[in-house]
């Protein structure tokens, strides 16, 4: 590949015998770019969305390792495991802005990380355009609903609801 | 191996399969988990009622399964990051996977009693 292009370059320059193939009076032929942009070419709709999605999965993943494993340790392992969970336990934890912020970050990052993962899975396996479109609409609807509901619950939690 | 497939099997493919499967399972649980937690906005009784389900032996065992899925996804996710960003990551991807499996086994053994203590205590006395 690289050897070919080197050879082609040398031939075009015509430097093999020291005499240039082309000069001002004998210019090289103009080669049209195969996909030249013209007035009729639609504006490019390509973005770096997939790159940012890929990067987000890795960055959010690192943060989620800490947030989720800490959450599992506290909720499912320490202090009696699942036995202690109840309304009073939730009220005690959400009395602290630290744990509210922890849960809020975890909710948003986990939902976006999971939604982007499922988007990839749908794109991989749903072959018909319509199926793919509607599965993703269902996914986005469920994601927006869940994120908003969870956020609302964290911000409006009332320990004296009754 | 069937002709004309891109699937190569072995550590690389099967870790990818396991990452997908655990990821999808975790996402479905997360959806349910946000819904059940939202019951704290309905009433303490409604919330405690649904949490009682989480304390039954079968669901408690499923929680151990959830921990298994999350731990694998987390550890293998770190391996994916190492493969993508560490210059020697691709070369050592198999060793990295077996390290992931080893750490996973140790952590799962360590989580056995803490996660299942509720069921063990209710089934086998104090």
In the structure, what pLDDT confidence band is assigned to residue A16 with cuts at 50, 70 and 90? low
Q: Is B51 within 8 Å of A110 when comparing Cβ atoms?
A: no
Percentage above 70 pLDDT, chain A: 89
- Domain for residue B114, yes or no? yes
Is B56 part of the contact surface with chain A (CB cutoff 8 Å)? Answer: no
- Domain for residue A37, yes or no? no
Q: Which of A82, A90, A107 minimises the CB distance to B34? A: A107
Of A29-38, A58-67, B31-40, the poorest mean pLDDT is in A29-38
E strand or H helix that includes residue B81? helix B57-85
pLDDT at site B3: 65
C-alpha to C-alpha distance for A70 and A88, rounded to whole angstroms? 20
Using a CB-CB cut-off of 8 Å, the residues of chain B touching A74 are: none
**CATH number, domain containing residue B46:** 1.20.1300.10
In tens, the pLDDT along A34-86 reads 777 777 777 777 789 999 999 999 999 999 999 999 999 999 888 888 888 99
Tokens 């202090």 sit at which residue?
Answer: A79
C-alpha to C-alpha distance for B25 and B68, rounded to whole angstroms? 11
- Which domain, by its residues, includes A135? 53-156
- Domain for residue A65, yes or no? yes
Cβ-based neighbours of A157, under 8 Å, separated by 6 or more: A90, A91, A94, B40, B41
pLDDT at site A24: 85
In the structure, what pLDDT confidence band is assigned to residue B96 with cuts at 50, 70 and 90? very high
pLDDT at site B1: 52
Domains held by chain A: number: 1
- Domain for residue B15, yes or no? yes
C-alpha to C-alpha distance for B80 and B22, rounded to whole angstroms? 15
Which one is predicted more confidently, A2 or A31?
A31
- Domain for residue B5, yes or no? no
pLDDT at site A8: 43
| Residues B48-52, mean pLDDT to the nearest whole number | 93
Which one is predicted more confidently, A1 or A126?
A126
- Domain for residue B3, yes or no? no
In the structure, what pLDDT confidence band is assigned to residue B11 with cuts at 50, 70 and 90? confident
- Domain for residue B78, yes or no? yes
**CATH number, domain containing residue A80:** 1.20.1300.10
Which residue from A minimizes the CA distance to B54?
A82
Cβ-based neighbours of A159, under 8 Å, separated by 6 or more: A91, A94, A95
- Domain for residue A138, yes or no? yes
- Domain for residue B75, yes or no? yes
| Residues A138-158, mean pLDDT to the nearest whole number | 96
Contact at 8 Å (CB) between A113 and A55?
Answer: no
Q: Is B74 within 8 Å of A149 when comparing Cβ atoms?
A: no
pLDDT at site A5: 43
φ, ψ of residue A159 in degrees (nearest 5) = -65, -20
Q: Indicate whether B29 pLDDT > 90.
A: yes
Of A16-25, A66-75, A146-155, B14-23, the poorest mean pLDDT is in A16-25
Measure A118 CA to nearest chain B CA, in Å. Answer: 7
- Which domain, by its residues, includes B55? 10-123
Mean pLDDT score of chain B: 92
- Domain for residue A150, yes or no? yes
pLDDT at site B126: 59
Q: Which of B41, B80, B115 minimises the CB distance to A156? A: B41
pLDDT at site A17: 65
- Domain for residue A28, yes or no? no
- Domain for residue B4, yes or no? no
Q: Indicate whether A9 pLDDT > 70.
A: no
- Domain for residue B110, yes or no? yes
- Domain for residue A127, yes or no? yes
Domains held by chain B: number: 1
| Residues B91-96, mean pLDDT to the nearest whole number | 93
Residues of chain A that touch chain B, judged by Cβ-Cβ distance less than 8 Å: 58, 61-62, 64-65, 68-69, 72, 76-78, 80-83, 85-88, 90, 107, 110-111, 114-115, 117-118, 121, 142, 146, 149-150, 152-153, 156-158, 161-162
């Amino acid at each position: 590949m690289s050897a070919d292009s080197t050879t082609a370059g040398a031939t075009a320059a015509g430097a093999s015998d020291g005499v240039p193939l082309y000069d001002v009076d004998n210019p090289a032929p103009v080669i049209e770019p195969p996909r030249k942009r013209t007035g009729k070419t639609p504006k490019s709709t390509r973005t770096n969305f997939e790159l940012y999605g890929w990067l987000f999965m890795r960055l959010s993943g690192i943060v989620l390792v800490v947030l989720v494993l800490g959450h599992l340790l506290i909720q499912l392992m320490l202090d009696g495991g699942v036995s202690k969970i109840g309304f009073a336990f939730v009220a005690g934890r959400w009395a602290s802005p630290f744990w509210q912020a922890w849960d809020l970050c975890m909710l948003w990052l986990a939902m976006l990380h999971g939604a982007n993962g499922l988007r990839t899975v749908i794109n991989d396996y749903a072959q018909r355009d319509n199926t793919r479109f509607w599965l993703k609409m269902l996914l986005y609807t469920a994601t927006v609903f869940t994120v908003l509901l969870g956020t609302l619950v964290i911000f409006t939690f009332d320990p004296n609801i009754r | 191996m069937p002709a004309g497939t891109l699937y190569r099997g072995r550590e690389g493919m099967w870790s990818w399969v396991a990452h997908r499967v655990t990821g999808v399972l975790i996402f479905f649980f997360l959806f349910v988990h946000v819904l059940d937690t939202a019951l704290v906005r309905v009433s303490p009784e409604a919330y405690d009622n649904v949490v009682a389900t989480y304390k039954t032996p079968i669901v408690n065992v499923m929680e151990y399964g959830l921990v298994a899925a999350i731990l694998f996804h987390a550890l293998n996710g770190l391996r994916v990051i190492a493969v993508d960003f560490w210059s020697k990551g691709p070369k050592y991807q198999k060793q990295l996977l077996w390290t992931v499996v080893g750490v996973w086994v140790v952590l799962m053994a360590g989580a056995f009693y803490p996660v299942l203590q509720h069921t063990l205590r209710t089934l086998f006395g104090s």
